[in-house]
Amino acid sequence: MNNAIEVVGLCYRVKSFEIHDLALTVPAGSVYGFLGPNGAGKTTTIQLLLGQRRAARGQMTVLGGSMPRDAARLLQRLGYVPERPHLYPGLTVTEGLRYHAAFYPRWDSQRAAELLHRFSLEGDQRIGGLSKGETGKLMVLLALAQHPELLVLDEPTDGLDPVVRRDVIAALLDYVSSHSATVFISSHLVHELERICDWVGLMDRGRLVAEMPMQRFKNGIKRLRVTGAPAAVEDTPFVLLSRESAGVGGAGEVWVVRGWQSPMQEYFTTMGAILREVVDLDLEEGFVELLRTFRGLDSREA
């Protein structure tokens, strides 16, 4: 199995929101960051992947099986942390673990006990009395103790303090490295995923804007400072995302490009322009530029 998740031509509509012709590929063994602003459709996509919603059309393959046809079998092999907790508040932590374990034949009691200690959770605490950070850690514990081949995490650290986020991410990475599991993690906290993901998909307004290895994303999106470029340019060896004046006191223009490689500097020489500077963008800056370009194209097509 080369891919843990494959989605082709997925369409779904509810009221005014639509997921249109979505395609996703999550390589097996990867940590895939599913990025997008709030309301982009990330949670809806995850719910479709897990069989919680029904698509109008399209194909979804998860761990080699078809969703939602094989949902009962496939869900036993994956761990899920939803955006909102789904635990019974009247149970103690220990009771919650026992209840959850009954549904999963692969449940790892030893790992559950280790994580209970690691996360400083007390077994006799009522789930309803846990803090937000403690609840977040318990949700991750439950997912990891299922011994999953695939972890699907929907905003797992949203609203948690930095210390709890660090503990949760460390536990996830430890599990992935020791079990060769795949992680599909949705978030709008771009800087957090930059450190842990090796693949990235960017979603906005129900559509996939970009999907690529993280290293290519980080290395390929650049801000260029250019002087002497003609008003019209064509046949660029890169994707020109934006082109603006350098502003008051600045010289020339600022270009943001995608797919940049060092030999492409020769392109500016051939057009009689001068490339003054190549500036690296971090993931968040690249994320913003891609969204801005996509929304500009989307508004022109509307």
Return the percentage of the chain with pLDDT > 90, whole number.
70
Pair type for strands 239-245 and 253-258: antiparallel
- Provide the pLDDT for residue 301: 55
On whether the CB atoms of residues 36 and 188 are closer than 8 A, the answer is yes
Residue 296's pLDDT band, with cuts at 50, 70 and 90, is confident
| Sign of the four-CA dihedral 216, 222, 228, 232 | positive
Higher confidence at residue 197 or residue 295? 197
**Are 97 and 128 contacting, i.e. CB atoms less than 8 angstroms apart?**
no
DSSP 157: T
Q: Is the pLDDT of residue 197 over 90?
A: yes
Listed range (54-63, 153-162, 207-216, 243-252) with the worst mean pLDDT: 243-252
pLDDT at residue 157, as a whole number? 85
The yes-or-no verdict on residue 182 having pLDDT over 80 is: yes
- What number is the average pLDDT over the span 272-279? 94
Cβ-based neighbour number of residue 122 at 10 Å: 11
Q: Rounded to whole angstroms, how far apart are CA atoms 110 and 116? A: 10
- Look at residue 188 and tell me whether its pLDDT is greater than 90: no
The b-or-e profile of 153-169 (16+ CB within 10 A means b, else e) is bbbbbbebeeebbebbb
Q: Which residue has the tokens 């991750």?
A: 140
Q: What is the pLDDT of residues 12-68, one digit of tens each?
A: 999 889 999 999 999 999 999 999 988 899 999 999 999 999 999 999 999 999 999
Please give the C-alpha separations between residue 248 and each of 7, 154, 159, 224, 274, in angstroms, as whole numbers. 46, 43, 39, 17, 19
Judged against a pLDDT cut of 80, whether residue 147 lies above it is answered with yes
Helix orientation angle between 109-118 and 93-101, rounded to the nearest 10 degrees: 150
Retrieve residue 279's tokens. 């500036």
Helix, strand, coil fractions of the chain, as percent rounded to 5: 35, 30, 35
pLDDT tens for 210-225 read 999 998 888 888 999 9
Do strands 182-187 and 150-154 pair parallel, antiparallel, or not at all (unpaired)?
Answer: parallel
Cα within 13 Å of Cα(290), Cβ side:
29
Per DSSP, the three-state class of 202 is: strand
Q: What is the pLDDT of residue 297?
A: 60
Residue 264: the pLDDT is 95
Going by C-beta distance under 8 Å and a sequence separation of 6 or more, which residues neighbour residue 199?
26, 27, 30, 31, 32, 33, 211, 212, 213, 214
| Residue whose C-alpha is closest to residue 160's, from 170, 151, 152, 150 | 170
Assign 293 a pLDDT band (cuts: 50, 70, 90): confident
User: Whole-model pTM above 0.85?
Assistant: yes
Token output for 180: 């060769």
Strand 199-204: give its sheet, edge to edge. 78-81, 150-154, 182-187, 31-35, 199-204, 207-213
- The 10s digit of each residue's pLDDT in 115-125 is 999 999 999 99
Q: What angle do CA 2, 41, 18 make, to 5 degrees?
A: 105
Give residue 244's identity as a one-letter amino acid code.
Answer: E
DSSP code, position 77: G
pLDDT at 211: 94
pLDDT at 289: 85
Q: Which domains does the chain show, CATH number per domain?
A: 3-215 (3.40.50.300), 217-301 (3.30.70)
Pick 190 or 213 by higher pLDDT: 213
For the chain, how far is it from start to end, CA to CA, in angstroms?
Answer: 39
